[in-house]
Amino acid sequence: MKVKNKVIAVTGGGNGMGRELVLSLLAKDARVAAVDINEAALQDTAKLAGDKKDNLSVHIVNITDKPVVAALPEQVIARHGVVDGVINNAGIIQPFVRVNELDYAAIERVMNINFYGTLYVTKAFLPYLLVRPEAHIVNISSMGGFLPVPGQSIYGASKAAVKLFTEGLHSELLTTNVRVTLVFPGAIGTNIAANSGVGISQSVESNDQQRSIKTLAPSKAAEIIINGMEQDHYRVLVGSDATFLDRFYRFSPQRAANFIFKQMKSLLPE
């Protein structure tokens, strides 16, 4: 689905990759509903929209609040007239600790935002998308959704749930006008750790080894995702690391898992 003149809702639109998705869509003459829980971040996104700001609406929404999410499509339609697509981008990581040290509150928070938030938004918008001449759903999983990352086991489980949910949704909608795209970003240069409430001591940002990992600019990631959306791709791998590890894991899952463990083990507390 070409995004020009379409109305697209983007969750997590207040910062990072979500903000870049909003700005990239606006640059392609889409109309955008930016959704985020952080009002100040949304206002910053609106300021960056510049002369495209009239094509942007901002919606302060906690995507884990089912009734609030259920009301969102009508709010978007009230502002833009219709809705043609949704990009489920909002997500957080967990503290970099083993499952044994992770409390249930952190586990539930990750699952609620990453999986249930994606589910609630999809369910809310789908009836409206089904009546459009063409429509599109883009769900953001993660490289961690197909490859185990020690210290991010619950995050990975949430993104694996997004993966299979999206693949199932794609199959269910094959005979409809709604296309579905699944995205696997690798390392993207965002402040997801801070936005997830993960302390610096537990974050990849303070680790010498991690500084050698090349991250992809959020603007480039957004470009790749929107291109995949416009070409109706089934899967989109974002970044050379995601592409390499996807192939490696398909070839030898255990070797790939051991490789990632060696790369990431220094981040785990002893």
Residues forming the active site: 155
28, 22 Cβ separation under 8 angstroms: no
Distance CA 10, CA 18 (A): 7
The CA–CA distances, whole Å, from 105 to 95, 154, 173, 269 equal: 12, 12, 34, 20
Pairing relationship of beta strands 56-60 and 85-88 according to DSSP bridges = unpaired
Per-residue tokens: 180? 């579905």
Residues 6+ apart with CB under 8 A from 15: 36, 38, 41, 44, 45, 190, 191, 195
Bridge partners of residue 178, in order along the sequence: 135
Distance CA 225, CA 233 (A): 10
